[in-house]
Each structure stands twice: as structure tokens, then as C-alpha cells.
Amino acid sequence: MNADWFTPALAARNWQAIIVAGSAGGVDAMLQLLPGLPVPLGAPVICMLHLPANRDSRLAELFAARMAVPVVEAADKQPVEAGVVYFAGGGYHLSIEQDRTFSLSCEAPVHFARPAIDVLLNSAADAYGDSLVAILLTGANHDGADGMAQVHARGGLTVVQDPAEAQVATMPQCAIDLDTPDLVLPLAAIRQLLQLLGEKK
């Protein structure tokens, strides 16, 4: 595996959670990334896409049919467990509590979105600190930029899809403009990174 863009120091860190988030074009991007996750999976992978509030999410079902690891929709009070891929449902903000359980809330939309990426990232940065990996993909607004900056400030690893290849460049570009991420990568390299980070220690 060619991993010149990924340093041994990062590989040796004990990553305890991985978040993958995006908006417009995100389903296609995640379909390129997630089916390559290793089995068994050594960390939880929490996925969020902007969803219409009035429509049930079928993302967990869509991805479960294509993956060998368990894929579920995140539920209120549910523990965040290694080896599972979680998807945020529609109509609720998803956050992670200090005891590393999920919390759903009906608070006002953030950046016109509920679930909002910033809500998830900010809470995850508090819960996981420097053991968190946050990956931001294609999207059409600036949701996620503040959250990525918070993850970076807490010592987590921040990864942004290269805007030049994103279906919609606005979201990754806003994150880059606000706070330079650790890595800016094309999807093929992010897929390799996920395989390395997800390997069971």
C-alpha cells in the first residue's frame, strides 16, 4: 500500500473514533470509501450526511447491504462501540456525550441542517480529544468547518477531501480556509487512510 502521505507517527496513535461527514455528493463519496473498511473494524465509524427532515433515512440499510461490518442508525443513549459503522438519522442533531453514548436532540437547525456536522464534531472533540479522526467530504455549505477546527484544537486528526475532486467543493474548501487540516487528500487516499486507521490493534 502506498502511504507516503501518511506518517508512521500518525499510524501508531490509538484512534478511538472516526467521523466521516459530508453533504451534496456525499453518498457517492461514502460509497467509494466505506466498503473498503477492514474486518474486524478496530474503531467505531460515525457517518453523517445532510438529510431532509421530513424523510426517513435509509442510509444504514443502503450501506449495510454493501459492507461486511455491522451498519446501524445511531440511537439515543446507545453506546458508541468499536467495530460498528453508525449513520445519523434525519430530523435530529446527533452528538456524543462524555460517557461516549449517542444523544439525539431537536434543537434548532445549525447552518440550516439537522443533523448538523458541527454539532457532531464539536461534541466528539470534547468526548475523544486527540484520539478522534474527523474526515470532511464534498458538500454545498460551510457546515463542518467550525467542528473540524475544534477537533484540530483538541489534538485530533483532521482530513479534508481535496476540493479539486469533490463533487461540490464548498464544504471542504471552507474547512481549509478556516483552519488548515492535517491532510487534504483525494478519495482514493482517504480510502487507504480509513483502511489503516480501522485495522484492529
Catalytic residue ranges: 23, 50, 143
Report CA Rg, the chain.
Answer: 15
CB 20 within 8 A of CB 121: no
Give the separation between CA 118 and CA 43, rounded to whole angstroms: 21
Q: Considering only CA atoms, which of 129, 168, 142, 184 is closest in space to residue 25? A: 168
Q: Considering only CA atoms, which of 133, 134, 142 is closest in space to residue 163? A: 142
Total H helices, total E strands in the chain: 7, 9
Taking the alpha carbons at both ends of the chain, their separation in whole angstroms is 18
DSSP 12-34: TS---EEEEEESTTHHHHHHHHG
